[in-house]
Structure 1
Amino acid sequence: MSPHRAVPTISGTAWPGVSYFCSTREGGVSGGPWSSLNVGLHTGDKASHVQANRDALRRFLPGDPVWLNQVHGCEVHDPDHYADVPPGTPPPVPNADAAITMQYGRVLAVMTADCLPVVLASIDGRALGVAHAGWRGLAAGVLENTLAALRERHPAAVAWRAWIGPAIGPRHFEVGADVFAAFADHDEQAAHFFAETVPGTKWLADLPSLARHRLQRAGVESIELSGYCTYSRPELFYSYRRDMQTGRLVTLAWLDNPSSL
């Protein structure tokens, strides 16, 4: 865990040209089930508290985050293709579960509370993507779509890396036959990441390992897992499956300007 002053955060191995971290629930102003650094406006928390929490994180960023209206799908948003909005005008919030950029200082954001936050970048630090991957989005190909969009933007990239942030761990993510079939029916190897608990009915799913498997299959060479389980660490993380009424974490990433390094 590396502190950004008064706001504790989780990150991984330092990447040349890329900054990234996931917030924890510590360091904010929200109370009750949203205590304390909730960044989700759709959670039932006071909007003023959420905005204060977002402002607390904004102090450590080179620009305003590109927020998404996440819908558990596999659409990828590219804000570089949109002209900057006039000052004082709120930017549009697209329906998407991933975003990419090749613009230095453009901050990408995905919110989670058990789902996987995934950061993807070219080894040369010139192309960046983030994705929100619950089981639906993961099965539908949100990671593969994000990587494909990055490759289209940066065809000269020779290799890719990924960081899979805090998410619900395999001891706590029990799923039914529909989830098992969504993966195993299309990929026999995916069945290895499910532990059957009730024959033909219930499984424990290893979502981070499923994501790593799919990224490896898509050609990502270097993949790091945070190792944090959101469900089992209530002092650090929000967990929708554990608490239902809860806040949201945010994973933020941006490309560093070489001139400032």
Structure 2
Amino acid sequence: MKAESESVTHTLIHDWLRPDWPAPAHVHALCTTRNGGVSAPPFDSLNLGHHVGDDPAAVRANWAVLQAALDAAAGRPVHLAWLHQVHGTVVQPLDCASVPGRDADACTTTLPGVACTVMAADCLPVLLTNRAGTRVAAAHAGWRGLAAGVLEAALQSFWQETPAGQAPEAINTVASQRGQEILAWLGPCIGPQAFEVGDEVRAAFCAQDPQAARHFQPQGRAGKWLADLAGLARQRLRAQGVTALYGNDGSTPWCTVANASRFFSHRRDSARLGGSGRMAACIWLGG
């Protein structure tokens, strides 16, 4: 199995995505598409966004579809709590009593039957587990959260204690070794041929790592660039020692904008159709 070369054809139900990665058998994960629900256009059909203007009854019905799929995959009830995503770096620990709607852009748990869930419609969902399968996490990475360090914050949940009294070089070595224990799956997002950004976005990434410049291509207009969001995320993960990267490789089949029949896209649909739905990426431990 080759990291970073996964096809987008691995499905659970409907045309939903299931990560093709060497996670432990008791680690379960999926990513919905726009298909399989009851919402009317422009939210057709499996919109999971509560805040986008869709009929609340349809959104509840769509969440029931997702809930049933998780329960069936797990063979037991799964606790599902969505986040109020604010493009920040807060990581919310989840347990069986966690309520939905807390402000956070990542979540994590060590408990079986609790689904870490993030939503997106152009932003990048990232699912994480360790090779031992003792913890899982999910992160919502738009450009603001990615630049601010949401992936690094999610990774910190896997190694929460910094070694005391060690030199920075030793700490970096430990971080790299810990990174080797992490598997990351990148879901669909706006692709590098569709994500036009301004100078400020490029500057935010290049100020932290000059190598980020290679993920920005001139657009042909002053101050405008095409950004590779998934490429920037892979770079940030590698910097933390995570090399087992799967899923979105920046190719067209992963682009939310380019695949209107499969993926929601806020940038593609909001101005043209008046709104766009949201997809969900979930990861949980069996038990």
Same-fold status (TM-score > 0.5): yes
Q: Distance in 1 between matches of 2:79 and 2:15?
A: 19
1:79 lines up with 2:94 in the alignment = yes
Q: Distance in 1 between matches of 2:97 and 2:146?
A: 30
Moved more, 107-116 or 189-198: 189-198
Change (3 A) 1:92 1:229: closer
Q: Classify the secondary structure of the residue corresponding to 1:233.
A: coil
Q: CA deviation at 1:200?
A: 4.9
Q: Is the 8 A contact 2:12 2:18 kept in 1?
A: no
Q: Which amino acid aligns with 1:76?
A: V
Q: Which residue number in structure 1 is paired with residue 36 of structure 2?
A: 27
Q: Distance in 2 between matches of 1:96 and 1:203?
A: 28
Q: CA deviation at 1:150?
A: 2.0
What pairs with 1:128-147 in structure 2 (closer than 5 Å)? 128-147=136-155
Q: Classify the secondary structure of the residue corresponding to 1:60.
A: helix
Q: Percentage identity across aligned positions?
A: 43
What's the CA shift string for 1:100-148, capped at 9, x where partnerless? 1111111111000000000011011111100000000000000000001
Q: Distance in 2 between matches of 1:65 and 1:246?
A: 22
Structure 2 unmatched ranges of 5 or more? 1-8, 71-76, 164-176
Q: Which amino acid aligns with 1:241?
A: R
Q: Which residue number in structure 2 is paired with residue 59 of structure 1?
A: 68
Q: Classify the secondary structure of the residue corresponding to 1:50.
A: helix
Q: Which residue number in structure 2 is paired with residue 248 of structure 1?
A: 278
What's the CA shift string for 1:72-120, capped at 9, x where partnerless? 111100124xx737xxxxx252100000111111111100000000001
Q: Is the 8 A contact 1:119 1:162 kept in 2?
A: yes
Q: Distance in 2 between matches of 1:93 and 1:246?
A: 19
Q: Distance in 2 between matches of 1:182 and 1:221?
A: 23
Change (3 A) 1:65 1:202: same
* 217, 229, 240: which one aligns with 2:255: 229
Q: CA deviation at 1:182?
A: 0.7
Show structure 1 runs of 4+ deviating over 2 A. Answer: 1-5, 155-158
What's the CA shift string for 1:38-91, capped at 9, x where partnerless? 0001010000000001101111224131210000111100124xx737xxxxx2
* 161, 164, 175: which one aligns with 2:183: 161
Q: Which residue number in structure 1 is paired with residue 16 of structure 2?
A: 9
Q: Is the 8 A contact 1:73 1:140 kept in 2?
A: yes
Normalised by the size of structure 2, how large is the TM-score?
0.82
Normalised by the size of structure 1, how large is the TM-score?
0.90
* 190, 212, 223: which one aligns with 1:201: 223
* 194, 206, 214: which one aligns with 1:172: 194
Q: Classify the secondary structure of the residue corresponding to 2:69.
A: coil
